[in-house]
Amino acid sequence: MRELTQPSRDEITFVEVLHALADPARLQIVAHLADGRRESCSGINEGMDVHQTTMSHHYRVLREAGLTWTTIEGRSRYVTLRRADLDARFPGFLAGVLTQLPEPARPS
């Protein structure tokens, strides 16, 4: 399992986090991961009406801002929300964001 280059906790900046969140599709991804789940990008993509190339861009923006942690396993990428890192850097902020987001529609 290899990992992508992504910022350490201390490298995460508030402006970059705000920028990464300022997009409807990226907010939808964050809402999907809000409960702490680790999810494959392909699994998230299924529930969203966005072209895969655009989705790849959104995952990169979220990863580079430090909002998500991405791992590669074989041909799949998995993402989780960096809740602990974000709570340590910006106490209370992410919770304040998540409460604004609708519950994601998830397949039963």
Binding site for a second copy (CB under 8 A): 14-16, 18-19, 21-24, 27, 90-93, 95-97, 99-100
Instruction: With beta carbons less than 8 A apart as the criterion, state whether 50 and 41 touch.
Output: no
Q: Which is nearer to a second copy, 91 or 107 (CB)?
A: 91
Q: CB of 21: closest distance to a second copy in angstroms?
A: 5
Shortest CB 86 distance to a second copy, Å: 11
Closer CB to a second copy, residue 26 or residue 77?
Answer: 26
Choose among 55, 78, 63: nearest CA to 1: 78
Q: Measured from the CB of residue 93, what is the shortest distance to a second copy in angstroms?
A: 5
Measured from the CB atom, the residue of 18 and 105 that comes closer to a second copy is: 18
Q: CA 80: distance to chain centroid?
A: 6
Q: Are 38 and 79 in contact (CB under 8 A)?
A: yes
Closer to a second copy by Cβ: residue 5 or 99: 99
Q: What is the CA radius of gyration of the chain?
A: 13
Q: Tokens in use for 14?
A: 């508030």
